[in-house]
């Protein structure tokens, strides 16, 4: 409810009832209509100078209207018109800044309009408004952060760095230090980034830091590890990442009473650190260490499907089919239509030589998504091995019909040479290597399918007639000599 006189109960109800998230076009129409009536029945000019809070309240109505239009209808022009109306109601336009100082001396109106301009990609106007708000409230460090982010968004990187550095001189504001370090890292100024982060770590108490300082220490160490990864210092990167993991575990031991609503956020960060370590060791082919870190992540987020799929994939790579099967089943309990889990289960069945079960899983996946080309390629191979070429051609037809652009996809070109003909097998074994080469060539520049395509192109070029090397030995062999002992 809004403070100050002049607001009827009907007006309050209209605003309050409009706040829930709208999910359909009809609800958008009703909500915006209700809000428009509310703003028209209580226009700011009629309220005069009764209270500066009334102006903010009326502009809040207009912000509800523009949010509905931007989020659901998305006409930017109408959104800007609402912004102009908010500016008129609060006298925020450049020519009216003197009036807002007289009638509404708080910084809230400037911040509201600045946030609105940021949301429609107009950071320059937002910066002016944030700076005006900061003059009203110099101790509001969150405004300094908003100005810095707006400068980055407007590509004034040098000015943003200078602004952050000037803001840091006013005190040890670690959230600004982190933003500055992150910016210098993105700009490639690695030495400066390292210096900023290490200075931040030195400012944090070594014994019994409070929750804020402990959290900042973890963030600084994660960013330092990212910096060292960028510069190729793997040992330093892993060292800081392990330190961040240890620090985050100490934070979690503080208990839910101290962490309160931040508990899930802290658990998520701990899991992310473990996943980064798991990814590093996976890239360095230490799969067992990688699994261990992913499993630690699952301790914090036991139902995170992405982590569960990573564990299942690693078990599959290590040949641990039973644990892979168990993890995939857990994923499918949480998400019965999960494509990756279904694909891994099908691959697992294929490795176990359970052809019918594997084909069933591939069929389920392709029924949901005919353009899942990994499943399509494996299903084609299985169908060919079973001698069921019509089934393979059916899969290709489904993929072609489901998307008009499928013929441009590298995965589709890997699985098809011409309409209703398999290039993976039929072209290779019916003496039409040129068609196969054409479709492999379309896929060879793709990051995902390129390596396999080039491999098959080389194989075709080395043996275009698909002759069995050494086959003449079998052709000239005496049948009498072929008896087995």
- pLDDT tops 80 at residue 257: no
Q: Mean pLDDT in the chain?
A: 75
- pLDDT tops 50 at residue 339: yes
- pLDDT tops 90 at residue 443: no
The residue ranking higher by pLDDT, 485 or 146, is 146
Q: What pLDDT was estimated at residue 351?
A: 83
Element (H, E) at 125: helix 123-136
Terminal-to-terminal C-alpha distance of the chain = 96
Buried b / exposed e across 229-267, counting CB within 10 Å, b at 16+? Answer: beeeeeebbbebbebbbebbeebeeeeeeebeeebeebb
Average pLDDT over residues 467-484: 54
For residue 442, give the nearest of 430, 425, 456, 431 by alpha carbon.
456
The helix/strand/coil state of 171 is coil
The residue ranking higher by pLDDT, 68 or 87, is 68
Is 0.75 surpassed by the pTM of this model? Answer: no
- pLDDT tops 60 at residue 289: yes
The residue ranking higher by pLDDT, 38 or 267, is 267
For residue 332, give the nearest of 312, 349, 318, 351 by alpha carbon.
312
CA-CA distances (angstroms) from residue 12 to 38, 43, 104, 181? 9, 14, 21, 45
Burial of 410 (0-12, 13-18, 19+ CB in 10 A): buried
Average pLDDT over residues 282-301: 93
Q: What pLDDT was estimated at residue 307?
A: 95
Q: Give the separation between CA 221 and CA 235, rounded to whole angstroms.
A: 14
Q: Could you give the percent of the chain with pLDDT greater than 90?
A: 22
CB 38 within 8 A of CB 22: no
Q: Which of 22-31, 156-165, 381-390 is the most confident on average?
A: 156-165
Q: Which of 185-199, 247-261, 412-426 is predicted with the least confidence, judged by mean pLDDT?
A: 412-426
Q: Which of 33-42, 200-209, 292-301 is the most confident on average?
A: 292-301
CA-CA distances (angstroms) from residue 241 to 177, 234, 299? 19, 10, 18
Beta-carbon neighbour count of residue 75 at 10 Å? Answer: 10
Question: Where does the pLDDT of residue 356 fall: very low under 50, low under 70, confident under 90, or very high at 90 and above?
Answer: confident
């Amino acid at each position: 409810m809004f403070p100050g006189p002049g607001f009827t109960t009907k007006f309050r109800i209209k605003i309050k009832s409009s706040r829930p998230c709208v999910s359909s076009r009809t609800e958008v129409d009703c909500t915006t209509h209700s809000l428009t009536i509310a703003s028209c029945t209580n226009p700011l000019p009629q309220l005069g100078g009764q209270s500066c809070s009334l102006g903010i309240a009326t502009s809040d109505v207009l912000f509800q209207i523009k949010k509905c239009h931007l989020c659901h209808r998305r006409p930017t022009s109408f959104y800007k018109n609402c912004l102009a109306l908010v500016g008129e109601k609060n006298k925020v336009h450049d020519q009216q800044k003197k009036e807002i100082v007289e009638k509404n001396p708080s910084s809230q109106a400037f911040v509201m309009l600045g946030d609105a301009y940021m949301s429609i990609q107009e950071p320059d106007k937002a910066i002016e408004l944030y700076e005006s708000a900061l003059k009203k409230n110099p101790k509001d460090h969150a405004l300094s952060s908003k100005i810095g982010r707006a400068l980055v968004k407007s590509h004034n990187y040098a000015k943003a760095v200078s602004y952050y550095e000037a803001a840091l001189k006013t005190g040890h504001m670690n959230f600004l230090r982190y933003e500055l370090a992150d910016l210098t890292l993105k700009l490639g100024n690695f030495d400066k980034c390292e210096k900023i982060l290490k200075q931040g770590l030195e400012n944090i108490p070594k014994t019994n830091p409070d929750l804020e300082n402990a959290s900042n220490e973890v963030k600084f160490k994660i960013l330092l590890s990212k910096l060292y990864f960028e510069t190729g210092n793997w040992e330093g990167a892993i060292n800081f990442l392990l330190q961040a993991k240890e620090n985050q575990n100490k934070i979690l031991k503080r208990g839910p009473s101290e962490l309160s609503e931040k508990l899930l956020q802290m658990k998520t960060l701990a899991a992310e650190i473990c996943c980064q370590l798991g990814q590093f060791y996976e890239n360095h082919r230490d799969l067992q260490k990688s699994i261990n870190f992913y499993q630690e992540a699952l301790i914090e987020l036991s139902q995170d499907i992405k982590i569960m799929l990573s564990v299942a994939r690693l078990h599959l790579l290590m040949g641990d089919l039973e644990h892979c099967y168990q993890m995939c089943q857990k994923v499918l309990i949480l998400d019965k239509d999960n494509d990756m889990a279904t694909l891994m289960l099908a691959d697992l069945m294929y490795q176990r030589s359970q052809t019918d079960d594997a084909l069933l899983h591939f069929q389920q996946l392709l029924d949901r998504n005919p353009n899942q080309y990994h499943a399509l390629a494996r299903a084609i191979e299985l169908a060919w091995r079973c001698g069921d070429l019509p089934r393979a051609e059916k899969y290709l037809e489904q993929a072609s019909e489901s998307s008009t652009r499928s013929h441009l996809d590298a995965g589709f070109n890997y699985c098809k040479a011409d309409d209703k003909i398999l290039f993976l097998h039929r072209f290779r074994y019916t003496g039409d290597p040129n068609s196969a080469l054409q479709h492999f060539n379309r896929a060879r520049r793709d990051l995902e399918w390129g390596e396999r395509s080039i491999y098959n192109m080389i194989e075709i070029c080395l043996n275009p007639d698909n002759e069995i090397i050494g086959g003449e030995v079998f052709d000239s062999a005496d049948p009498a000599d072929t008896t087995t002992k």
